[in-house]
Structure 1
Amino acid sequence: MSKLSIFLLLVALVVAIDADGDSDVGRPCDGRCTIRDLNSPRLLCVRDRRTNTCTKLRACRLRELNCRRRDSGLTPLKESCVTRCRNIRGGSGVSGQCAKRLRTQSPHSIDSKQVRACRSRQCIDDKIAGCWKDRQGACILQTRCEANRSNCVRQSNQWIRTSQWRCRGNVQGGGARRCHSQPIIIKD
Structure 2
Amino acid sequence: MSDHPSSRAPAPRGKPPNDPQGDEAGGPVSAAPLSRSPPSASPGAAASAPVLVIDDSEIAREEVSRVLRSAGFQVVALPSPIGATQAIVRHQARIVVVDIFMPTIRGDRLLTLFRKNQRLGHLSVILMSGHSEQELEQLQLEVQADAVLSKRHLDRLPALVKRLAGKDR
TM (normalized to structure 2)?
0.20
Higher helix share: 2
Larger RCO (CA within 8 A; separation ≥ 6): 2
TM (normalized to structure 1)?
0.19
